[in-house]
Amino acid sequence: MKIFPEERQNMIAGYVNENGKATIHELSRQFEISIPTVRRDLAELEQKGFLHRSHGGAVARDRVLEEISFEKRMKRNYSEKVRIARAASAFIKEGDVVILDTGTTNFCIAQQLKEKKNITVITNSFKTAMELASNRSIKHVLLGGHLNPETFAVSGSVTVEGLKRYNADVAFIGVTGIHHEKGLTDIYEDESPVKRAFIEISKKKIVVASRSKFGMVSFSATAKLSEVDMVIGSAEVDLETRKVFEDTGPEYLYV
């Protein structure tokens, strides 16, 4: 039975939006069409507003602007986030001043720090601060600012001004998207200046990002990739995507 291009494109759009994202090779196998045909279909679907193209594939139309509850985001790619958190915690030494940004991966890092001693943690995340509160051997600095009830994080000029009095050994930066050309981006415009301030006051800057963040571009520009030292991503990031990011500046560690 012959499938017309419009029908095929509708099926592709449905598949991508249902699964959140898909690679070109995945779509080629799923719909038994050539890679050039997939590329043409994705270009037309993006033009019509049905999805967003990313390097090596496409993401669902609402993934760039959607922000879901903290609990739901925590469950997404959870095993990846735990592996990333374990790798990140290895860069923290006794006596360090550590910045933990908002986000579920940074929350997982906080969970890894419960046994750490003699460190100072600066954070703009209420979730992270509460997670670490029971450890009396960790000095906590919870920043002030405007509270976002969706992320449980504070941001704004008060937060940025408050950061100017500190210096940190290492900062772990969370992102909504990481792109080889657009760099680091975030869904919330008022959180980007806070992330930039984290980068400015820290000796070592490490981005933590599960596979769903690679190739994504969100609303607010945060920093260039050349401004950070390392990106810790999950082993599930495909080889084609890794190659695109190779010469962008930071060191990449996939765990």
Q: How long is the chain?
A: 255
The first and second tokens of residue 222, run together, are 């945060």
Question: Has residue 200 got a pLDDT over 50?
Answer: yes
Please give the average per-residue pLDDT across 85-101, as a whole number. 97
In order of 119, 166, 201, the CA distances from 169 in angstroms are 10, 10, 9
Domain boundaries, the chain: 5-60, 70-254
| Cross-strand pairs, 57 | 23, 54
Return the higher-pLDDT residue of 238 and 60: 238
Please give the average per-residue pLDDT across 90-101, as a whole number. 97
In this predicted structure, what is the pLDDT of residue 10? 82
Considering the chain, what is the average pLDDT of its residues? Answer: 89
Would you state the CATH architecture of domain 70-254?
3-Layer(aba) Sandwich (3.40)
Please give the average per-residue pLDDT across 93-116, as a whole number. 94
Return the higher-pLDDT residue of 122 and 74: 122
In this predicted structure, what is the pLDDT of residue 63? 54
Half-sphere CA count of 58, side-chain side, radius 13 A: 32
Return the higher-pLDDT residue of 114 and 119: 119
Please give the average per-residue pLDDT across 52-78, as a whole number. 71
Please give the average per-residue pLDDT across 70-83, as a whole number. 84
Question: Has residue 205 got a pLDDT over 80?
Answer: yes
Helix, strand, or coil here: 191? helix
In this predicted structure, what is the pLDDT of residue 65? 44
Please give the average per-residue pLDDT across 108-134, as a whole number. 93
| Out of 43-52, 94-103, 138-147, 205-214, least confident range | 43-52
In this predicted structure, what is the pLDDT of residue 68? 54
CATH number of 5-60: 1.10.10.10
Beta strands in 175-212, from DSSP E residues, in sequence order = 177-179, 183-186, 202-209
In this predicted structure, what is the pLDDT of residue 212? 84
Question: Has residue 18 got a pLDDT over 60?
Answer: yes
Q: Give Cβ neighbours of residue 72 (< 8 Å, ≥ 6 apart).
A: none
Question: Has residue 15 got a pLDDT over 50?
Answer: yes
Surface-to-core class of residue 106, CB atoms within 10 Å of its CB (0-12 exposed, 13-18 middle, 19+ buried): buried
Q: What is the pLDDT of residues 124-177, one digit of tens each?
A: 999 999 999 988 889 999 999 999 887 889 999 999 999 999 999 999 999 988
In this predicted structure, what is the pLDDT of residue 1? 53
Q: Give Cβ neighbours of residue 236 (< 8 Å, ≥ 6 apart).
A: 77, 80, 210, 211
Percent of the chain with pLDDT over 70: 95
DSSP letters for 18-85: HHSEEEHHHHHHHHT--HHHHHHHHHHHHHTTSEEEETTEEEETTTTT----HHHHHHTTHHHHHHHH
In order of 96, 127, 153, the CA distances from 142 in angstroms are 16, 11, 10
The first and second tokens of residue 225, run together, are 């990739």
